[in-house]
Structure formats: C-alpha cells, structure tokens
A and B are shown apart, each in its own frame.
Chain A
Amino acid sequence: MRSTKTKPVNGKADHGSLPKCLTGIHGLDEITLGGLPRGRPTLVCGGAGCGKTLLGIEFLVRGATLFGEPGVCVSFEETEEELTSNVESLGFNLATLVKQKKLAIDHVQVERNLIEETGDYDLEALFVRIGHAVDAIGAKRVLLDSVEALFAGLEDESVLRSELRRLFRWLKDRNLTTIVTGERGQGTLTRHGLEEYISDCVILLDHQVRETILTRRLRVVKYRGSTHGMNEYPFLIESDGISVLPVTSMDLKYKSSDERVSTGVPALDEMFGGKGYFRGNSILVSGTSGTGKTSLTTHFVDAACGRGEKCVFFSFEEPADQIIRNMRSIGIDLQRWVDKGLLHFHSVRPTTYGLEMHLVKIHKVIQEFAPSLVVVDPVTGLLHAGTAYETRSILLRMIDFLKERQITAILTTLTSGTAIQEQTEVEISSLVDAWLLLRDIESRGERNRGIYILKARGVAHSNQIREFLLTSHGVELREVYLGEAGMLTGSARVTQEAKDESAALIGRQEIERKQLLLQRKRQALDAQIAALQLDLETEVQESEQLIAQEKLKVEKWEQDRGVMVTSRYGNSGTQKENGRPAATAGKGK
C-alpha cells in the first residue's frame, strides 16, 4: 500500500493555482488534496512522542525516493546517528540516501551553558549551514526539527524571533518546501508561538490513550488557499512509515453494480428473489452465539472461491486452522481455496492493537490481496479494541472503503441473548445493504435455528422465516411448518408433519372405502335391475303366448260357430245347446 498509487490528484494544483508538493505519506496527500504548499513552510506541531520528527523524515525520504526531490534535515535535537537508527525500524535507510546525495543531515547543537552572549549577533551561520547543505545536493525539501530548541539555547529572544521570521522568509524565497516541527504548548499550537510565523499550513498531531489503547490523530488546522479535510484523522506509525486514514470518503459517489451473485445456498438465493445478492453489497449477518453465523458466511466464501474470486476472511475469534477444521464438519472444504491462493485468512485478537491499527491492517491486506469478497467475523470483536462510537466510525469507513472498490463485505455481528435481536451492538444496520438475521427458536425443549432477511436494499426478498439447518453437507433451509399449531420447527415440525401425513392417509383410505361401497351397491342394484328385467321379459313372453292361444281359440270357436250356424239352419235346437257350454268353457280358461 506504500506507493504513490493512491494519490488522488497531481502534485501541481487541484483547487485554484496553489502549487502543491506531494509528501508521499500514505493518506496525508489525500487529506491535503495534493500535498503541502510547495515552496513554503508547513508547521507540524504536537506533544512529545506524537511522531513529528517521523513525519518530517518520511517527507524527506519519500521526496528523495519517490519524487526525485532531495532533502535537507536540520536536526536541532538528535544527531545524525541517532536519527538514522531511530528511523531504521521504519525501513528508512538514511545512511544510503546520504551517500547517494539525496539527503543531507545537519545536526545543529545549541547548548546554552557553553555560550556567552555579548552584544549584537544574528543567526547568519544557520542560514549559511542550511544554504550550504541545500546547495550541495540540490535540495527541494527541508526539515527543521525542532527549531524551538534555539529558544533554549539563546538568550536574546527578540533577536531569535526576528531571525526566525527571516529564516522562513529566506526558505520561501529559495522555494524550499519546508516542514518545521514544534512542540505543543499550553493553549497554543507551539510552545514559542511559531504559528505566528508560519501561516500557510499547520498540521497538528495528537495522541491519546483511551482504555489502554493508543490512538494517534492528525488534523490539518489550516491550509491557506486550499481546501482540505477538516477532521481528525487517525494515523499509525507502522513498519513502513506513517499511514493516515482519510478513509471516510468526502462524498458518497461510488458506483453500484447490477450484478447479482449467488450466496452459495440455493434456498437463500431463492429468498433473495431467486438471484442472490448484489455484488459489492455489504451484508450483515447477525445472531446470538451458536446460530451459525460463521457457517453461513463460509458458504458465501465457498461460492465466491468456486467462481474463482478471491476472498479475505478476517477472523477476530478463531484461528484459520480452526475455522477450516470446523467448516469441514459441515462439508465445506476451505483448505483447497487457501491452497489455490483464492482465500486468505487474517486472524488476530481484537485487543492486539487499537482500532485504527486494525483498520490499517485490513486495508493493507485488502490492497495487497485484492479480493472481491471480504468477511469480518465478527465485527463486534472490534468493540474490544475501542469504544462503540469509534468502532462504528471505523466500520463506516471500512464499509466505504470496500464499497469504493466494489468488494462485497460479509460482516457478522454477535447479539447477546438479552439484547433486542433487531439491533446490532455497533449500530451499523443502517450502513449495510442486506441484513440476514439468524435466530433461535426455542420450543418444546429444543433450540432450533431460524433465518430471515430483515432487509435487502433493491432486492425483492422473501418475508418468510425459514428453518436453518446445519447438515453434514452444508447449510440447508427448510420451510417452517405453518399450521393451526403455529410456527413449528425442529422435531416439533417433524412430528407435526408426520401427524399430518397419517391424517391424510386415513382420509385417503376412507375415501377409497366409500368409493368401493358405492361401487358394490351399484353392482347389486344393477343385478336386481337385470333380474327384474328378466322377469318382465318372461311375463311378457308368457302373456303373449296366452294371448296368442286365446286368439287362436276365439278364431276356432268362431269357425266352429259358423259351421254350427250353417248346420243349424237344419237343426236350430242343437245349435243353442251346443253353443253355450262351448262359450262358457272358453271364457273360463
């Protein structure tokens, strides 16, 4: 991260025509929108041990190494050897720079007890010394650290003050970009009022210890003729110099991606409108302990690595090995992604160092690894490193930082059992785009897990609570039982489902039985109908037969009567007697 690549503007000018000089100090150039005023002195003040000298030295070193601007260090307090060894730990090799004629160090020692003042004098020798050093290496930058030592060494303050005024004028005339350091005084920026003479740019350094954790801060008090970041910015002295964190972007103007990405859990994608979350979103996963936050987030990681994307896992609770081992139990093999170089674990105890340091580390890892997904598990861990307010501001800056780079952030937060579930302890819920809430559902002597999407900006998401299962092959989401008995989960759901199943079976059997009965009845009736039909037919047949016989009989009788009548015309008595009994007999049949 230590390079010029983060510079936002060129060194010339940003607003107006004030020429600026890039310091090369990480973050400072962003705050000052391009560096210190070129060719003018800048006052850097602060209490003892706040990093004034380091800032000045880094200004010179970066100038010499990054911008080809040699520098002169006029040290009033430390010798060349002391300075060299002091900054060696920051990777600055002053001796080499001196050898390459990119840096000149002049230790100006003023000891009052060795000096007797008699009459009129000036500080021309100091001018001569600085001028000589500047000319010798063609310096463009000068550090005066700390010029206030002169006040201790010389008696005549009025001479000193007028000479200092002349000195700063002289440096300006020679177009030297200068840092003048000064010890902070009581109620004033510097003990001897240097701010009186240096009015172009004043930077105040400060350090505070809160709850045993040291935080360094930097503020640009004034910058004549230029806009600048007004806030107090935390900064760190690290193994490679100073890092100032102007992380809070001054405006919210990052791009938003339309790309939807799978969470790695199909049912969860389903809950996110079937397509997963937006790339670059910040997703908060909250829940009480043991609700499966880490397990769920590893799904996101697994899915992203599966797509060939890089992920960084910041763990504040568990070491990497333990996470890998634990996730193996739910069937997620993270080790293969680590081996492939797609996954990077950064496990550190929250209390190891202050919040700013955490943020810087996070930045550093992200800038080095360039992931597309970042997990912070859990963000509440950071609470141990600072106050809630600070944590919130750090997280805000981190989320901003990630959004700027379109990096998806998965943040887990631990809600304590007593707290309101829909409230995060660090109150970052308004900063995140999506919020997955994992919760315990306790009933019938069981503790089950439920998941729901509390919010998902720009995504049509499910309003349902799903049961969340951790199985040997990962996270599974189940529809929860919603019925007369209310919402059921776990074994209660299983029982209820079985009960429903058997009830349904009984119902089905009943229907079948009734259908069979009906069929049988129908068959019986059909048979009856057939028998009756048969009877009818027989009756009809018999009747027709009788009718035919009768008809035949009648015909015969008529025939016979005809014969008789004809015959009667000879014997009428016989006809009468014969006719009647015959007729009677026919009717009787």
Chain B
Amino acid sequence: MPTRKNPAVPAQRANWELRLYVAGQTAKSIQAFANLKRICEEHLAGEYHIEIVDLLQNPQLAAGDQIIALPTLVRKLPEPVRKIIGDLSNTERVLVGLDLQPRSAPLKP
C-alpha cells in the first residue's frame, strides 16, 4: 500500500519525508496509517511524503533504521531523524515527536 502524497513541494518549507514501518495489515498498522495521514493533512498539508515499509515483505529493512517496535514512524527529513512508535493515537505526542509542537510541560499520557 505504498502511498505518495502531494508531489508538489512549496519552496518556503522543507520537504517532510516520513516512513512508516509496519508488519502486515494489522489493526495497529491500519490505525497508525490513518492517524498519520490525518495529522499530516492537518499540519503539513502539501509538504509531506509518506513511505510505508512492510517488514513482512522486506525484513532486511528493519535493521537500517534500527526498528524494533511496530508500528514505527521515522521522520527522515527534516533532520535530525526522529522516531515515533505506536499507533500514533496520541496526536499531541506525535506532534511533539515530529517537532511540530514544542516539548511542553507534563505530557498527558
């Protein structure tokens, strides 16, 4: 289910390269993808690009990004590389993880 979104990149903002690691179409991975898409559309509309890596098909790719937990979202660009694990259901923490929101006082669980 590799998906590409919005090939046009506005000049004023860096291109967001996101990679979502999953293992087959589990409930968690579907949930994660849905959450990711929603957040990206809300905050990064037109500036992002999501690559989905299914480790059941390409297990050798897990080592490269040091993936242990699934699902894992890796922000390849802009640097530095960030990792967010889980089904991305906590939007606030996803935004913090993607540096879209400053790491504020105590995070809600």
A420 at the interface (CB under 8 A from B): no
In the assembled complex, the CB of A101 is this many whole angstroms from the nearest CB of chain B, namely 14
B62 at the interface (CB under 8 A from A): yes
On whether the beta carbons of B97 and A128 are closer than 8 Å, the reply is no
On whether the beta carbons of B89 and A119 are closer than 8 Å, the reply is yes
Q: A132-B59, A132-B60 are in contact. Are A116 and B66 (CB under 8 A)?
A: no
On whether the beta carbons of A118 and B68 are closer than 8 Å, the reply is no
Q: How far is the CA of A114 from the CA of B65 in the complex (A)?
A: 12
A117 at the interface (CB under 8 A from B): yes
A123 at the interface (CB under 8 A from B): yes
Q: A116-B93, A118-B89 are in contact. Are A123 and B83 (CB under 8 A)?
A: no
Q: How far is the CA of A122 from the CA of B84 in the complex (A)?
A: 13
B96 at the interface (CB under 8 A from A): yes
Q: A116-B94, A117-B93 are in contact. Are A125 and B84 (CB under 8 A)?
A: no
Q: A116-B97, A117-B93 are in contact. Are A110 and B66 (CB under 8 A)?
A: yes
On whether the beta carbons of B66 and A109 are closer than 8 Å, the reply is yes
On whether the beta carbons of A118 and B62 are closer than 8 Å, the reply is no
Q: Pick the contact of B87 from A115, A120, A125, A126 — CB < 8 Å?
A: A120
Q: Which residue of B lies closest to A160 (CB)?
A: B69
A106 at the interface (CB under 8 A from B): yes
Q: A110-B68, A118-B93 are in contact. Are A125 and B83 (CB under 8 A)?
A: no
Give the chain B neighbours of A114 by CB distance below 8 A.
80-83
Q: How far is the CA of A236 from the CA of B55 in the complex (A)?
A: 42
Q: Pick the contact of A121 from B60, B66, B82, B86 — CB < 8 Å?
A: B86
On whether the beta carbons of A119 and B88 are closer than 8 Å, the reply is yes
Q: How far is the CA of A122 from the CA of B67 in the complex (A)?
A: 11
A131 at the interface (CB under 8 A from B): yes
Q: A128-B23, A128-B55, A129-B62 are in contact. Are A117 and B68 (CB under 8 A)?
A: no
- B90-109: CB near A (< 8 Å → 1, else 0) gives 11011011000000000000
Give the chain A neighbours of B94 by CB distance below 8 A.
116, 118
On whether the beta carbons of B85 and A128 are closer than 8 Å, the reply is no
In the assembled complex, the CB of A465 is this many whole angstroms from the nearest CB of chain B, namely 78
In the assembled complex, the CB of A119 is this many whole angstroms from the nearest CB of chain B, namely 4
Give the chain A neighbours of B21 by CB distance below 8 A.
125
Interface residues on B, range: 35 or more
Best-surrounded residue of A114, A119, A120 (most CB of chain B within 10 A) = A119
On whether the beta carbons of B59 and A115 are closer than 8 Å, the reply is no
B63 at the interface (CB under 8 A from A): yes
Interface residues on A, range: 20 to 34
Q: Pick the contact of A122 from B70, B80, B91 — CB < 8 Å?
A: B70
On whether the beta carbons of A121 and B71 are closer than 8 Å, the reply is yes
Work out how many contacts link A and B, with CB atoms closer than 8 A: 96
A124 at the interface (CB under 8 A from B): yes
Give the chain B neighbours of A123 by CB distance below 8 A.
68-70
Q: A124-B70, A125-B67, A125-B69 are in contact. Are A118 and B85 (CB under 8 A)?
A: yes
Main secondary structure of the interface of A (DSSP, over half): mixed
A189 at the interface (CB under 8 A from B): no
A-contacting residues, B4-24, CB 8 Å: 21, 23
Q: How far is the CA of A115 from the CA of B85 in the complex (A)?
A: 7
In the assembled complex, the CB of B98 is this many whole angstroms from the nearest CB of chain A, namely 8
On whether the beta carbons of B83 and A116 are closer than 8 Å, the reply is yes
On whether the beta carbons of B86 and A120 are closer than 8 Å, the reply is yes
- A90-124: CB near B (< 8 Å → 1, else 0) gives 00000000000000001111100011111111111
Q: A123-B69, A125-B67, A126-B68 are in contact. Are A116 and B59 (CB under 8 A)?
A: no
B-contacting residues, A493-521, CB 8 Å: none
Q: Which residue of A lies closest to B83 (CB)?
A: A115
A150 at the interface (CB under 8 A from B): yes
A154 at the interface (CB under 8 A from B): yes
Give the chain A neighbours of B31 by CB distance below 8 A.
119-120
On whether the beta carbons of A125 and B96 are closer than 8 Å, the reply is no
B37 at the interface (CB under 8 A from A): no
On whether the beta carbons of B28 and A120 are closer than 8 Å, the reply is yes
Q: A115-B83, A116-B96, A116-B97 are in contact. Are A125 and B89 (CB under 8 A)?
A: no
B45 at the interface (CB under 8 A from A): no
Q: Which residue of B lies closest to A136 (CB)?
A: B60
Give the chain A neighbours of B97 by CB distance below 8 A.
116, 118
Give the chain B neighbours of A129 by CB distance below 8 A.
59, 62-63, 67-68
Q: How far is the CA of A104 from the CA of B9 in the complex (A)?
A: 41
In the assembled complex, the CB of B63 is this many whole angstroms from the nearest CB of chain A, namely 6
Q: Pick the contact of B72 from A106, A125, A132, A150 — CB < 8 Å?
A: A125
Q: Pick the contact of B69 from A106, A107, A121, A131 — CB < 8 Å?
A: A121
In the assembled complex, the CB of A62 is this many whole angstroms from the nearest CB of chain B, namely 25
Q: A116-B97, A119-B89, A123-B68 are in contact. Are A128 and B84 (CB under 8 A)?
A: no
In the assembled complex, the CB of A135 is this many whole angstroms from the nearest CB of chain B, namely 8
Q: How far is the CA of A116 from the CA of B87 in the complex (A)?
A: 11
Q: How far is the CA of A119 from the CA of B27 in the complex (A)?
A: 13
B56 at the interface (CB under 8 A from A): yes
Best-surrounded residue of A108, A115, A153, A154 (most CB of chain B within 10 A) = A115
In the assembled complex, the CB of B41 is this many whole angstroms from the nearest CB of chain A, namely 17
Give the chain A neighbours of B86 by CB distance below 8 A.
117-121
On whether the beta carbons of A150 and B68 are closer than 8 Å, the reply is yes
In the assembled complex, the CB of A425 is this many whole angstroms from the nearest CB of chain B, namely 58
Give the chain B neighbours of A119 by CB distance below 8 A.
31-32, 35, 86-90
Q: A108-B68, A123-B68 are in contact. Are A118 and B87 (CB under 8 A)?
A: yes
On whether the beta carbons of B23 and A125 are closer than 8 Å, the reply is yes
Q: How far is the CA of A107 from the CA of B70 in the complex (A)?
A: 18
On whether the beta carbons of A122 and B69 are closer than 8 Å, the reply is yes
Identify 6 residue pairs between A and B in the complex whose beta-carbon atoms are under 8 Å apart, listed by A's number.
A115-B84, A117-B93, A119-B87, A120-B89, A122-B28, A131-B59
Considering the complex of A and B, which 8 residue pairs feature the smallest CB-CB distances, nearest first?
A116-B97, A132-B59, A119-B89, A119-B86, A118-B90, A119-B87, A118-B93, A125-B67
Task: Beyond the given A108-B68, A124-B23, A153-B68, please list 8 additional residue pairs across the A-B interface where CB-CB is below 8 A.
Answer: A109-B66, A114-B81, A115-B83, A122-B28, A123-B68, A125-B21, A125-B62, A126-B68
